[in-house]
Amino acid sequence: MRGVRELLAVATAVYASAGYATVYFNVEQAQNTLLPGAEWTAVPLTLSDAQRKTISERSGVAVRNADLKIWRAASGESFYIDQVLGKHEFITYAVLLDASGAVQAIEVMDYRETYGDQIRNAHWRAQFRGKRDGAVLKLDSDIKNISSATLSCKHITDGVKRLLATHALLSTRV
């Protein structure tokens, strides 16, 4: 077992020197990037079990976290921060919805995987612009896949679909 310990020690040492998370935006930076100059009011919400079930049925995507991070601008826009599964880590991203509930922009706030960060590409993210609750939001249908980042593309697409269903359900409260 000594060999195992040595292997783990080497692995830990290499990881400590090579591995670190990449954070691109904090909340304030993401808000200022997606809607410069807006004043945001936090409106955090916790979904009930019934709401989670409704959202899952509506979007076809499981609701992993009942606690929502939502901000609303005086001009009517809504700003969501969400997380989806990456290969090993979570991917944190922000979604800006206009006053009508359509996607105005999305932004990847942190990405902690070795590869797949092509989802940060502006052209790929722009595919979500104008999407509303009920949109297909499926890879190789209305969202083009990036072949070397399929898992990230799928999970972000599913996440946006879930948030749109969430927003539609809660729009009277948000």
Report if residue 18 touches other proteins, rule: CB under 8 A.
yes
Per CB under 8 A, 3 contacts other proteins: yes
Nearer to other proteins among residue 20 and residue 37 (C-beta): 20
Phi, psi of 74 (to 5 degrees): -60, -30
Distance CA 49, CA 75 (A): 31
Stretch that binds other proteins, among 19-27, 36-44, 45-53, 68-76 (CB under 8 A): 19-27
Q: Is residue 88 near other proteins by the rule CB under 8 A?
A: yes
Q: How far is the CB of 60 from other proteins (least distance, A)?
A: 10
Mask 137-166, x = binds other proteins (CB under 8 A)?
Answer: --xx----x-xxxxx-xxx--x--------
Q: Does 67 bind other proteins (CB under 8 A)?
A: no
Give me the long-range contacts of 132-136 (CB less than 8 A, separation at least 24): 132/100, 132/101, 132/102, 132/103, 132/164, 133/58, 133/101, 133/164, 133/165, 133/167, 133/168, 134/164, 135/161, 135/164
- Distance between CA atoms of 152 and 81, rounded to whole angstroms? 16
Which residue ranges make up the site for other proteins (CB under 8 A)? 1, 3-4, 7-8, 10-11, 14-15, 18-21, 61-62, 64, 85, 87-90, 112-116, 139-140, 145, 147-151, 153-155, 158
